[in-house]
Amino acid sequence: MFERSPVTRLLPVMLGALISLAGTTAAHADATLDKIEQRHVLVVGVLLSGGPFGGIDPATQKPRGLNVDLAQELGRQLGAQVQLVPVLPANRVQFLQQGKVDLLIANMEWTPERGEILGSVPTPFYRVGGSAAVLKDSPIARWEDLKDQPVCTSQGSSYVKPLTEFGAQIKAFKSSSESLLALRGNNCVAAVHDATLINPLLADSAEWQGYRALTPELNPAPSVIWTRRGETDTQARLDPIVQELHRSGWLIEAQTRNHITPASPALVELQQKFQASGA
Amino acid sequence: MNHWLEFFVHWASSLGLNYGFLLDAYPRSTLAQGALTTLWLCLLTIIGSLLTGLGLAALLTSGKRALAVPARVFIEVTRNTPTLVQLYCAFLVLNMLLNQAVGTANPLTPFAWVVIVISLHKGAFHAEALRAGIEAVPAVTLEAARSLAFSNRQLLWNVQLPLALRFALPSLINNLIDLVKMTAVASAIAVGDITYSAIMIWTQSDNVLELMILLLGFYGLLSFIVNCVGRYLEARLRMPGYGH
């Protein structure tokens, strides 16, 4: 009557083979380190929003900044070719989660909420807090003065939460450049970003002469290299490299090379810590 | 209300989707406020764009070069540049210049800029749809109306537009559905529409998938309502023996 075709008869066998194959690939826990060691490629998401941490060099049209230097140095030490992928604050987490990038060096500070959804290299490479650019004659002197005032920032900024707690009305733009333009258009009383973006901008640029920065820094937090959650092998491989970069003074030198002002006291502190423990 | 929400969250979690944030008052009120803002944006831009379209179509078909040429130039410029670029240009450049000129007395909020830019942008598309309708009115009908001593304005308002509207309706509804989806650009300049609210929530926590599904559902529903209204109007305005 009805006879099974050879293919249908083999179906359970093929399915079984497929399932066992899937099982063997799942045995590799940390795909990123495997990929780096086998294919010698490291894909790093960097934030190129301008400023000394990451931006485009107007002369050569190439990315530059501390983020870029650090990515290249990691690649050199791992013997891998570095591919840079520009990310935005609003999409960087998704880029990492979906595997478009292996690591994030994107001005993203460690917070407990982020620590739950992603993994990170334990040793931070920088410490940074928020600062606000306000008009020189503005009455705002303390962070508490921002209560019920419109404040510009970027979507995905880690300062949204503390600013909400101060009672500020947040206006979050796609990136820091739009936020700063909106401040200059008087759409808000302050623009809050990393102090490492605000300080050099106000110090160097003639266009920003009418503005001053708000101190002290808001919520100083460690900047870390982010990995996908659970990729402990990659973290364990990168952690001694970052510690060595502190110990040898490479990070302090990179800070000077990229004209990051004011120089971070945290870098000196970390260098002393690792020099003491390493010696 | 809360009972249903809890039921939904429970049901979604059985599908592996975590809608727990909906039970939290802060994200829920942010989303609800965003949905309301999007509804207002849609309502105001639908009215604004239809009025703009009507005005531009009247200029285009007036038969006077001095009126038709500027209208044509405006339509071509508006139609051929991206909405997002226009919005940035209006909000980050024009608004800044306006602020420098009048200081803090500038009455235009980011919300107002979105309404203006989308109304003008979609108005240009409506104008073309209405022009097609107006030009499809048979010449003999116009002659008959002229022989009854209709002035140009009466001709447009009482003869051409009622017929043109019936021809243009499918195109207009098409444009309006596009307009509903276009309101999402408001999020780029920090107007708190539903897209913006969703971005603000998902950049602080890990629920992109859930929020995306919610967003798609919301915009889908809104466009579907516009579609249904369009179908109803088409059936309502149908004239036996004309067009269909």
Write the pLDDT tens digit of every residue in B55-101: 999 999 888 899 999 999 999 999 999 999 999 999 988 988 888 88
Q: Which residues of A touch B189 (CB under 8 A)?
A: 173, 178, 182
pLDDT of residue A108: 86
Model confidence band, residue B127 (pLDDT cutoffs 50, 70, 90): very high
What's chain B's average pLDDT?
90
Q: Is the pLDDT score of A28 beyond 80?
A: no
Q: Which fold has domain B36-236?
A: MetI-like fold (1.10.3720)
* Token digits of residue B80: 């051929």
Helix (H) or strand (E) holding A134: strand A126-135
User: Nearest CB to A160: which of B91, B110, B204?
Assistant: B204
Identity of the highest mean pLDDT range in A127-141, A237-251, B113-127, B229-243? B113-127
Q: Which residues of chain A neighbour B110 with C-beta distances below 8 Å?
A: 171, 187
Query: In the prediction, which pLDDT does A26 show?
Result: 43
> CB-based contact (8 Å) between B99 and chain A?
yes
B107 contact A CB<8A: no
For chain B, report the end-to-end CA distance as a whole number of angstroms. 46
Number of CB pairs < 8 Å for A and B? 55
Q: What angle do CA B48, B53, B58 make, to 5 degrees?
A: 130
Mutant choice from A111, A155, A164 vs B, greatest count of B C-beta within 10 A: A155
Q: Tell me the average pLDDT across A121-135.
A: 91
Q: What share of chain B is helix, strand, coil (3-state, %, to 5)?
A: 85, 0, 15
B196 near A CB under 8 A = yes
Query: What pTM, to 2 d.p., does this model score?
Result: 0.76
Cβ–Cβ contact B188 with A under 8 A: yes
Domains parsed from chain A with CATH numbers: 31-125+224-278 (3.40.190.10), 128-220 (3.40.190.10)
Residue/partner pairs of B199-204 with CB below 8 Å, 24 or more apart: B199/A90, B199/A155, B199/A156, B199/A172, B200/A155, B200/A160, B200/A170, B200/A172, B200/B30, B201/B21, B201/B27, B201/B30, B201/B31, B203/A89, B203/A90, B203/A93, B203/A155, B203/A156, B203/A160, B204/A113, B204/A160, B204/A161
How far from each other are the two terminal CA atoms of chain A, in whole angstroms?
83
Q: Does B150 touch chain A (CB under 8 A)?
A: no
Of A92, A107, A157, the residue nearest B208 (C-alpha): A92
pLDDT in tens, A244-279: 999 999 999 998 888 887 788 888 888 998 888 865
Q: Determine the distance in angstroms separating the CA of B225 from the nearest CA of chain A, rounded to an integer.
A: 30
pLDDT of A224 strictly over 90: yes
Tell the residue number behind the tokens 């190439």, with chain if given. A62
DSSP string covering A16-47, please? HHHHHHHHHHHT---HHHHHHHHH-EEEEEEE
A51 to chain B, any CB pair closer than 8 A? The answer is: no
Q: Give the domain ranges of chain B.
A: 36-236
Confidence at residue A215, expressed as pLDDT on a 0 to 100 scale: 82
Tokens 């419109």 identify what position?
A150
What lies within 8 Å, CB to CB, of A69 at 6+ separation is A254, A257, A258
Give the pLDDT of residue A204. Answer: 80
The crossing angle, in degrees rounded to 10, of helices A232-247 and A66-78 is: 110
Q: Return residues 184-223 of A near B (CB < 8 Å).
A: 184-187
Mean pLDDT of A187-211: 88
Quick: pLDDT tens for A48-107: 877 788 888 888 889 999 999 999 999 999 999 999 999 988 788 889 989 899 999 988
**Is the model's pLDDT at A12 over the cut of 80?**
no
d(CA B168, CA A260): 60
Average pLDDT over residues B159-184: 93
Among A100, A113, A173, pick the best mutation site for testing chain B contact (most B Cβ within 10 A): A173
Q: Is the pLDDT of residue A20 over 60?
A: no
Containing H/E element for A64?
A: strand A63-64
The pLDDT value recorded for residue B123 is: 96
Confidence check: pLDDT of A27 > 90:
no
Binary contact (A182, B206; C-beta < 8 A): no
Token digits for B143?
């002659």
ipTM of the predicted structure?
0.73
Q: Is B106 within 8 Å of A186 when comparing Cβ atoms?
A: yes
Report d(CA B30, CA B26) in Å as an integer.
6
Average pLDDT over residues B137-158: 90
Average pLDDT, chain A: 85
Cβ contact (<8 Å) for A173 and B205? no
Residue A98 at interface with chain B, using a CB cutoff of 8 Å: no
Q: Do B190 and A182 touch (CB under 8 A)?
A: yes
B29 touches chain A (CB under 8 A): no
Query: CB distance B203–A161 less than 8 Å?
Result: no
